[in-house]
Amino acid sequence: MSASKKEPPKQTFEQSLQRLEEIVDHLEQGDVSLDESIKMYEEGLALSKACMDKLTQAEVKLKKLSKDIEGNFQLIDDQPE
């Protein structure tokens, strides 16, 4: 692994979950070095937290799709009553 610390870019829930699965697989197979496994541990911690946040979000966000005068799409906040 390179020294460049890869700060996970904004990953979708699906991507995060997939990566977690990969990490679990690698660790279970025991085919990684101690150094790598510790990096995976840190990455796994961040990913788990991001997924947990998504799952424990309180409210569905509701928006409305509308077009402005120039025909560009806009999302307008529209919280359900």
Residues that bind other proteins (CB under 8 A): 12-14, 17, 20-21, 23-24, 27-28, 30, 34, 37-38, 40-41, 44-45, 48, 51-65, 67, 73, 75, 78, 80
Q: Shortest distance, CB of residue 5 to other proteins, whole angstroms?
A: 18
CA separation for the pair 23, 72 (Å, rounded): 41
Closer residue to other proteins (CB): 70 or 73: 73
Closer residue to other proteins (CB): 3 or 60: 60
**Exposure string (b/e) for 3-29, b if CB count within 10 Å is 16 or more?**
eeeeeeeeeeeeebbebbeebeeeeee
3-state secondary structure at position 76 = strand
